Amino acid sequence: MLRLLFWIALIFAAIWLWRKFKAPASSTRPPREQDAPPMVRCAHCGVHLPRDRALGNQQQWYCSQAHLEQGPGASGR
């Protein structure tokens, strides 16, 4: 009986070690949040877009030239 428990423990330890060392190499990591560009909110319509695609005017960001010309929208959002 003791031999059987020894072999079962040895097999589980081998499987655990095999999974532990194999998993990091085969799994692909999802992109980190730090890799995503910072997002800003359009002051006119409230749409969120990447800051590098937004148009800035002082401390406000806009999603298009038309919204930049119209200025801030309703403040009820």
Q: Report pLDDT for 30.
A: 64
Note if the pTM is more than 0.95: no
d(CA 14, CA 23): 14
Q: Report pLDDT for 77.
A: 47
User: How do residues 10-52 score in pLDDT, each as one tens digit?
Assistant: 999 999 999 888 866 555 666 666 678 899 999 999 999 999 9
pLDDT band at 76 (very low <50, low <70, confident <90, very high): very low
CA distances (Å), 32 to each of 20, 35, 54, 62, 74, in order?
22, 6, 22, 26, 34
